Amino acid sequence: MKSWRGSRPDWVLAAGDHPHAWLAAGVMLSLGAGQGMRDVVPPWAVALCVVAAVFAGVAGRRASHVGGAAAILGAGAIGAVAFSVVSGSSWSVTLVVIGLACGAPWLGGRYLHQQDELADQAAQRARLQERSRIAQDMHDSLGHDLNLLALRAGAMELDTTLTTTHQAAASELRAGASSAITQLAAVIGMLRGDGPVAWGPTRPDIADLVRRAARAGMAVTLERNGPEDAAIPVVSCIHRVVQEGITNAARHAPGSAVTVKIDSSTEKTQVTVINTPPNTSLRRSPGSQTGFVALHERLQACGGTLSAGPHHGGFRLIAHVPHGGAG
């Protein structure tokens, strides 16, 4: 279903910001036109009725409730009787003019307003259904691959022909796959509307993030200067920056050395992630740059800034996170 909203000109949208005022103006014009209709119908009265109908239609299309409109139309009816008594004109003619020039167009606009709401609700339901379908497809496909990965890693972990180092690496791989399956299930549940995501520690552990990358075979070091007692939203932003920097180095610069430097003060924290040139003999993974886009949006929400680019043959990422802006 297509919403009527997209077909409305800009002046209608602007005029509809105060629907009661426009309806009141239409009623006043109708009163004037009705008072002018005695033995004949003058052209100026017809013109006033047309303008009043436009005003009333716009008001009905933008009205959020009917109470105010009913009061305005009721006041117009009372005014029609009062003016007719004073001027000696027919009050019934004026009431008919108000009803046809304002009441009927307002009802028509109100009908279109309801059609807008129904179209919006239908579009929202369609989006939710599509999101649920995509979430289920992700769960089925990614869950299947991750379970196979965990199964193979578990088999390698029990393989007595492997060295202790290789078995430990397989154990890490199996644990990581199992954790990814749990997190995937939580995210898919959120996308399907089952509830908020709830996993992982309450306070992100940046040092553990670096340790896990080192255990996976990356040459990564962490340098911290300043206090480490920032609020959880600030730490979450910092954790996200470090995570993206390490992920970017692992994907695009395999074999490089990565340095993570965190300089904190009472007002802000600067996070710098630098990787050296990659080992050209190792295969790089393709990237879509969506990680940096999401990170930039996350830092904007925290009130921070992000800059990234080539650095001495490698890559450097610098982020500033204010301690008062994260929330």
* pLDDT at residue 210, as a whole number: 92
| Candidate ranges 9-23, 174-188, 196-210; pick with highest mean pLDDT | 174-188
Rounded Cα gap, residues 21 and 52, in angstroms: 12
* pLDDT at residue 284, as a whole number: 62
Rounded Cα gap, residues 67 and 63, in angstroms: 10
C-alpha angle 13-15-16 in degrees, rounded to nearest 5: 65
Higher per-residue pLDDT: 325 or 29: 29
Mind listing the pLDDT tens digit for each residue in 248-265? 888 888 889 999 999 999
* pLDDT at residue 242, as a whole number: 93
The answer, yes or no, to whether residue 135 has pLDDT greater than 80, is no
Rounded Cα gap, residues 101 and 104, in angstroms: 7
Cβ-count burial of 55 within 10 angstroms (0-12 exposed, 13-18 middle, 19+ buried)? buried
The answer, yes or no, to whether residue 323 has pLDDT greater than 70, is yes
Rounded Cα gap, residues 288 and 298, in angstroms: 17
Cα-based distances in Å from 29 to 24, 93, 206, 315: 9, 14, 69, 69
* pLDDT at residue 8, as a whole number: 52
Q: Which of 93-102, 234-243, 247-256 has the lowest mean pLDDT?
A: 93-102
CA R_g for the chain = 33
Q: Which of 19-33, 100-114, 257-271 has the lowest mean pLDDT?
A: 19-33
Rounded Cα gap, residues 57 and 114, in angstroms: 13
Mind listing the pLDDT tens digit for each residue in 269-297? 999 999 999 887 766 665 556 678 888 88
Rounded Cα gap, residues 298 and 319, in angstroms: 11
The answer, yes or no, to whether residue 5 has pLDDT greater than 50, is no
Mean per-residue pLDDT over the chain, rounded = 81
Contacts of the segment 118-122: beta carbons below 8 A, 24+ positions apart:
118/1, 119/1, 119/2, 119/3, 119/4, 119/5, 120/3, 122/1
Specify which residues 168 forms β-bridges with. none
The answer, yes or no, to whether residue 151 has pLDDT greater than 70, is yes
Provide the percentage of residues in the chain whose pLDDT is more than 90. Answer: 16
Give the residue-averaged pLDDT of 64-73.
80
